[in-house]
Amino acid sequence: MKKPRLYSGMQPSADSLQIGNYIGALLQWRQLQTSYDAFFSVVDLHALTQPNNPEELREKTRRTAAQYIAAGIEPSQSTLYVQSHVRAHAELAWVLSTITGYGEAGRMTQFKDKSARYGTDSTSVGLFTYPVLMAADILLYQSDVVPVGDDQKQHVELTRDLAERFNKRFGEAFTVPIPVIQKDTARIYDLQNPTSKMSKSAESDAGVLWMLDDPAKSAKKIMRAVTDNEGVVRFDRENKPGVSNLLTIYAALTGRQIATIEDEYAGRGYGDFKKGLAEVVVAEFEPVRGRALELLDDPAELDRILAANAARADAVADATLADVYEKVGLLRRV
Ligand code: AMP
Ligand code: TRP
């Protein structure tokens, strides 16, 4: 039986991913890759919508790919590749942009937020068409499901609209994908500011746990994480966001229930609890970090893995693109 297709990706926007990326995305991906024919990309073309130093972008792209693999995405099982290696992405994005409404693209909240923040003169057309490129990523592979954080849900809805519109106008070319929205329990917050999401672009480093950091450093950050004065290890997102966040991390990394962890630490202080969590985090990330650094030590081998996977992606993407070109009436080059 053919497995359903799954597509997801992340931008290479930092030297290291943070554990929110790991718990919220990579752990899910690793699980899903066995039951789906999965495609995971490092979306470097999307990253061009932010200012980048070229050498640093290349390095971040390799690092992001290495962390996918280190976290358990199997490059022999899943198609793990770099977006810009597969030319069809930019080509399909162009065709899709011709059936996307100007107003429709302008309603994307991520674009509205960013353009409001930076002003129209500092907002590129690339940022405006970002969701169309994302639609191309997904539709090229006839993806059935797309796991994303809730901030990306609107982009997947746009993808569905474009797929349906194209199919209706030109004939069936695309599978209409379903977004799979990350669970609340997979959302990780900043250790110092536990009401905002842990993020690669956080203002302060003290609240972020980096996958590639020395685990001893992460342990220290956990010991200094913001809690509260109650002194009881208890999940209460509203009144105890700090402790609740630590419990979420603990549960996600151990696969245990939050209630079981609360019981284990009943009558014990936050110091004990944090020490326990620090041990869990160190045990989880020591091998992941080691594996990632090993891969990065041999960039030629990593590049070979990415090239082989890009070739697999090409085969699927080229077939979709050829069908689309045919359907919209582009003359075939002989
Ligand atoms: P980003 O780093 O925002 O590009 O996100 C890449 C992926 O990681 C997306 O699937 C996000 O939903 C997920 N992610 C990022 N930060 C967090 C977080 N703090 N908690 C859970 N998931 C996250
Ligand atoms: N825009 C997504 C994000 O910022 C990354 C992304 C690009 C993506 N293309 C995708 C996610 C296709 C899922 C499917 O998180």
Look at strands 79-82 and 145-148 and give their pairing. unpaired
Integer CA distances (angstroms), 226 to 10, 13, 174, 223, 242, in order:
28, 26, 47, 9, 6
Our answer to whether residue 217 is catalytic in this structure is no
Average pLDDT over the chain, rounded to whole?
Answer: 97
The string of pLDDT tens digits covering residues 253-296 is 999 999 999 999 999 999 999 999 999 999 999 999 999 999 99
Please tell me the least confidently modeled range out of 16-20, 200-204, 248-252: 200-204
Q: Does the pLDDT at position 201 exceed 90?
A: no
Residue 167: what pLDDT? 98
Q: Could you identify the atom of ligand 1 that is nearest to the CA of residue 148?
A: 10
The answer to whether 324 touches 177, Cβ cutoff 8 Å, is no
To test the ligand 1 pocket, which listed residue (17, 21, 188) has its Cβ within 8 A of the most ligand atoms?
21
| The 145-148 sheet, strands edge to edge | 79-82, 37-42, 5-10, 145-148, 178-181
From the CA of 200, the nearest ligand is: 1
Report which protein residue has its CA nearest ligand 1's atom 6: 10
Q: Is the pLDDT of residue 184 over 90?
A: no
Residue 325 CB neighbour total at 10 angstroms: 16
What is the pLDDT, as a whole number, of residue 1? 78
List, in order of start, the domains of the chain with CATH numbers: 5-186+298-328 (3.40.50.620), 205-293 (1.10.240.10)
SS3 166: helix
pLDDT at 182: 87
Question: Could you tell me where the DSSP H helices lie in 42-197?
Answer: 44-47, 54-70, 88-97, 102-106, 109-118, 125-140, 153-170
Q: Residues of 267-296 as b/e, b for ≥16 C-beta within 10 angstroms?
A: eeebeebbebbbebbbebbeebbebbeebb
Cα 261 to middle of ligand 2, angstroms: 33
Contact 20, 190 (CB under 8 A): no
Residue written as token pair 């797929």: 163
pTM value? 0.96
197 classed as catalytic: yes
Active site residue 153: no
| Angle (CA) 225 227 258, round 5° | 95
Of 151, 112, 106, nearest to 132 by C-alpha is 106
The number of the ligand 1 atom at minimal distance from the alpha carbon of 149 is 12
Of the residues 2, 153, 183, 200, only one is catalytic, namely 200
User: Active-site residue among 60, 112, 114, 221?
Assistant: 114
Round to whole Å and give the CA distance between 67 and 44: 15
